[in-house]
Chain A
Amino acid sequence: MPLLDVQNLKKYYATQKAVDDISFSIERGTIFGLLGPNGAGKTTLLRMITGIFYPDSGDILFDGRKFELEKDVQNIGYMPEERGLYKKMKIGEQAVYLAQLKGLSKSEAIQKIKEWFTKFEMQTWWNKKVEDLSKGMGQKLQFVTTVLHAPKLIILDEPFSGLDPVNSNLIKEEIFNLAKGGSTIIFSTHRMEQVEEICDQIILVNKGKKILDGGVQEVKQLHKENLFSIGFEKLPEGPYATPAFDLAGTKNQSLIVKINEGYTPNHVLHHFIQQGAGIVSFQEILPSLNDIFIKLVEGTPLTRQFQPVTA
């Protein structure tokens, strides 16, 4: 049974179909990437999952039953893209307050905060105020307050914005740890390299619709263009009179070839071996998620146009 099952979710605004019939499900313990260009409807989707917005239609099943804000608040940790903290409040007090709002008792909250502060080397922060923190430090604190109550579902909207590489890695490690510990993580971003690194599953939304769904490798296989890179001791001279492939480019001592339909890598290798070229390496080139993203989203206007809703 998936932890989260989203079925035919719809949310229309006066001028936009923000989320237009999106369905997907997330298995326990996976890191799930929610991708999409700006204004694709990601935030609206997340706000419905966290119970901040009500969907116009469709169902959200959490743990196999209908999502209920009061009961499930403790099971969800949400770090929105527009995030912040009370500037004038002391950091320790603030963390306790947010944890209590999630349903933890005061002593429980204090104990867990101390654990996390130790882990992130933030012990000395307790009596400081948020306004004394740098942006990156604030992000770390925000992350701690999001995952403090050990929720089953953690939703992180652009969690690395404003973090330096060291702190980014620290948070990344924690995300992996949390997933290993059984938490499910939804990770929303448009930074593709992070998605490839972190996520198991992804969906891509554009203009309120889901246009891609699957495992990261699966998606890559689906969108591969039969490109291979062949490394030589010495680049062979062209032209390469064979129907097996077209030349897509050269790079240093390598040729990048696109194998035509009906042929296999064996045909290509056979061709070069017959010519007596010294082959050093042979490797398939899978498209990066970035390429897939651009390819799929390309052609649609960069910023979303307002459209009349007829529903």
Chain B
Amino acid sequence: MNKTWLIIKREYLTRVRKKSFLVITLLVPLIIVGFYGAIFAIAISGGGSDKQKIAVLDEGNLFDGNETALKDDNMAYIFIHGETEASFKKKYKADGYSQFLYIPQLDIQQPSNIKLHSQSAVNLLTKSRIEKKLDQAIEAKRLKAAKIDPELYKAINSDVSVDNTIDSEKGEKKSSAGVAYAVAFAGGILIYIILLIYGTMVMRGVMEEKTNRIAEVIVSSVKPFQLMLGKIIGIGAVGLTQFAIWIVLIALLQSVIPLLFPDMFHQVVAQGGINAPAIPQSGTQKMVSTISEGLGSLNIGLIVFCFIFYFLGGYLMYASLFAAVGSVVSEDQQEAQQLMLPIMMPIILAFVIMSKAASDPDSSLAVFGSLFPLTSPIVMMGRITYGVPWQQLVISMVLLFGSFLLFTWLTAKIYRTGILMYGKKTTWKEMAKWAFKRG
């Protein structure tokens, strides 16, 4: 049997069989979904049973005593009569109101002096809700004064949104900047996390072999390169397994939660409408359709292919660097931290460039970052959703593949020498010398 395969199998099985693997693999999706759940729950608890009661003293007769104009899911407006602002502001709290809205006699063209009394500062959401109600009422009065039919006004009123169309040989398709941004950013972050988590896992694995003094036993049976490659591939497979389980679990949980709490989604979306007042009545549907249209506009096949390519390429390249670092450090954790730093820097730099590239994909920095092999796995994910010229994509992929080969070749030589060295601190100069030594 092929020996590299044996090593891959061992590296994979010992990690997957660990209890900690199981715990992390199951906990992470639960935490993520739980987190969303908590956000939903908090968002909903703002309204619902906990309705705020607001007293309205309408001296200006803005609402003509018409409570339906003020009807709202989130707050109860109650008109009061026979009070003055001065007298009622002393007792609205005792009467069970959380706020007291006072509307004086108004000049409809220049409304002013409307006051909202409260015990503590009113939150922005509530304030904007009330302001919206007042705006609508004042608008209606003005229309009436100008003798304009409200229906006519509604017909005239313009609410336009611009559809961005991308013209390519394959014909027109609609684009959605928001969705492209979200997918780009998510892809970039995912690769960033993969590189860090599994890269350091490779490093720790190599350090373990060295401190356990098993490295020399093993390399008398297999080539050091086989050992390194087996470890890198084995841990990569662990990463893929973990991601596959996460995706399945998150998908399952997300489809289960709306079934358990059917009202939740609608309420949240309904409230979301307040944050974005521009979205008209059918905001929910429109948002959903924007997202699905946006997703449809993306070249999902290309994105998935690129994600897998850059995940593998980036992981293999960085894992070999991490393995080289692991091979030269002896027991000292601090030494490992120091030597890791130069490898972490391009990863972090790539993350910074990626977050810029996701909003400005054609800037020269983004283009450079997506071609330069040390940053391209992360940065290219930030650009890919906006469409990247195929020449750039090819150059980037070729460069990444080439530097994967180069780095593996160099680091294998460092690794070969490093794992058999004990009790000596290795400098960068020495590592470079090992890497470029012949044979």
A contact residues vs B (CB 8 Å cutoff):
47, 50-52, 54, 69, 73, 76, 78-80, 82-89, 97-98, 100-102, 105, 142, 145
Contact = CB atoms under 8 A, between A and B. Distances in A.
A224 to B, nearest CB: 39
* Interface SS, A side: loop
Nearest to B212: A84
B80 interface: no
9 contacts: A51-B220, A80-B213, A82-B422, A83-B217, A86-B14, A86-B212, A100-B1, A100-B3, A145-B217
B325 to A, nearest CB: 20
A102 B213 CA distance: 18
B212 A97 contact: no
A83 B216 contact: yes
| Leading 10 A-B pairs by shortest Cβ distance | A84-B213, A78-B220, A101-B221, A80-B216, A84-B212, A82-B213, A50-B220, A84-B214, A100-B6, A102-B221
Contacts of A98: 217-218, 221
B14 A89 contact: yes
A82 B216 contact: yes
A54 B218 CA distance: 17
A54 B209 CA distance: 22
Nearest to A49: B220
Nearest to B9: A97
B425 to A, nearest CB: 16
Nearest to B3: A101
A87 B212 contact: yes
Interface in B140-162: none
A54 B438 CA distance: 11
Given A84-B214, A85-B214, A97 B220 contact: no
- Residue with the highest number of chain A CB atoms closer than 10 Å, among B3, B218, B221: B221
Interface string B57-81: 0000000000000000000000000
Contacts of B422: 82
A88 B11 CA distance: 12
Contacts of A52: 216, 219-220, 420
A165 B223 CA distance: 36
A121 to B, nearest CB: 23
Contacts of B10: 97
Interface in B177-221: 208-209, 212-214, 216-221
Contacts of A88: 14
A85 B221 contact: no
B420 A86 contact: no
A188 to B, nearest CB: 13
B420 A47 contact: yes
Contact of B223 (A50, A69, A80, A100): A69
A101 B221 CA distance: 6
A101 B420 contact: no
Given A69-B223, A73-B221, A88-B14, A97 B216 contact: no
Contacts of A80: 213, 216-217, 220
Nearest to A80: B216
Contacts of B214: 83-86
A82 B211 CA distance: 10
Interface in B38-66: none
A89 B212 CA distance: 12
B222 A101 contact: yes
A79 B216 CA distance: 9
Contacts of B14: 86, 88-89
B1 A85 contact: no
B82 interface: no
Contacts of A84: 212-214, 217
A47 to B, nearest CB: 7
Nearest to A149: B221
Nearest to A53: B420
A53 to B, nearest CB: 8
B439 interface: yes
Contact of B218 (A47, A82, A101): A101
A136 to B, nearest CB: 16
A78 B222 CA distance: 12
A149 to B, nearest CB: 9
- Residue with the highest number of chain A CB atoms closer than 10 Å, among B209, B212, B214, B220: B220
A145 B214 CA distance: 12
A266 to B, nearest CB: 55
A19 B217 CA distance: 21
B205 to A, nearest CB: 10
A101 B6 contact: yes
A66 to B, nearest CB: 16
Given A86-B212, A97-B10, A100-B1, A78 B217 contact: yes
B2 to A, nearest CB: 11
Nearest to B6: A100
A79 B439 CA distance: 26
Contacts of A50: 220
A80 B218 CA distance: 10
A102 B212 CA distance: 20
A84 B213 CA distance: 5
Interface in B400-430: 420, 422
Contacts of B220: 50-52, 73, 76, 78, 80
Given A50-B220, A86-B212, A101-B221, 16 more contacts: A47-B216, A51-B220, A52-B219, A52-B220, A54-B439, A73-B221, A78-B217, A80-B220, A84-B212, A84-B214, A84-B217, A85-B214, A97-B10, A98-B217, A98-B221, A145-B217
A100 B218 CA distance: 11
Nearest to B416: A52
Interface string B1-45: 101001100100010000000000000000000000000000000
Nearest to B214: A84
Contacts of B208: 86
A84 to B, nearest CB: 3
A83 B216 CA distance: 7
